[in-house]
């Protein structure tokens, strides 16, 4: 089905992997994927009702990070999120310090003129 004809759920699921697809991607059996999941040695899956899927991007990042255990992976992800939030806060602070806010003269002047007539 073309991407523009997919429902939102189908579009989200397009970026995910089933257990069979994940097993093929990792080069292991389905049973090994379930064993890794049960032992918490891989990222947690996403559930769509009864369907279990793994986010493709998360799996690729997990492998690039050396395939750490789930707890270590989640700690790494939390650290990345905190660092990203801190950078966003810093950018906002710098932006508000360097930007001078000027009053809306045109709109205020027009309103005052109309009320005085």
Mean pLDDT of successive 10-residue stretches along the chain, which has 117 residues: 52 76 93 95 92 92 91 89 79 61 56 53
Asked whether the whole model's pTM tops 0.75, one would answer no
Q: How far is 80 from 53, CA to CA, in rounded Å?
A: 23
Judge whether 16 and 46 are in contact, CB under 8 Å.
yes
pLDDT given at position 54: 93
């Amino acid at each position: 089905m073309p991407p523009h004809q997919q429902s939102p759920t189908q579009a989200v699921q397009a970026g995910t992997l089933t257990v069979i697809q994940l097993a093929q991607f990792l080069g292991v059996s389905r049973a090994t994927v379930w064993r890794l999941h049960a032992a918490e040695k891989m990222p947690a899956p996403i559930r769509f009702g009864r369907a279990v899927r793994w986010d493709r991007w998360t799996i690729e990042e997990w492998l690039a990070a050396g395939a750490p255990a789930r707890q270590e992976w989640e700690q790494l992800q939390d650290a990345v999120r905190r660092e990203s939030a801190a950078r966003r806060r810093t950018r906002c602070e710098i932006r508000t310090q360097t930007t001078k806010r000027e009053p809306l003269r045109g709109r205020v002047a027009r309103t005052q003129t109309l009320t005085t007539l």
